[in-house]
Amino acid sequence: MGQLTIIQCKISVFNRKYLIIMKIQLNGKDLNLATGSTLQQLIESEGLTQKRLAAEVNHEIITKAEHPNTTLKDGDKVEIVHAIGGG
């Protein structure tokens, strides 16, 4: 029984999933993200989902409809601005 437990532990170590990180720039600051992250995921992680905003990736404006399908890549430069009400 003890050997079986040791074998199971060794197998679980080899089956571990690793997170691969990429670096982007968000509004001029370096940010690490998981490889394969979308613009929508970035917006959500920044707490901006309920905001009126504009986003661009590498100087190209990305429409709101494209946010979920825009996969970010290592080295991308992302700018996100959101409207602030006032008067």
Higher pLDDT, 47 or 1: 47
**pLDDT surpasses 70 at 12:** no
Chain segment 31-66, per-residue pLDDT in tens: 999 999 999 999 999 999 888 999 999 999 999 999
Out of 15-29, 30-44, 64-78, which region has the weakest mean confidence (pLDDT)?
Answer: 15-29
Distance CA 43, CA 80 (A): 8
Provide CB contacts within 8 A for 22, sequence distance 6+.
Answer: 32, 33, 34, 35, 37, 72, 73, 74, 75
Class level of CATH domain 18-82: alpha beta
pTM of the full predicted structure?
0.75
User: Looking at residue 19, what is its pLDDT?
Assistant: 67
Instruction: Provide the residue ranges of all domains of the chain, joining segments of one domain with +.
Output: 18-82
The residue ranking higher by pLDDT, 38 or 8, is 38
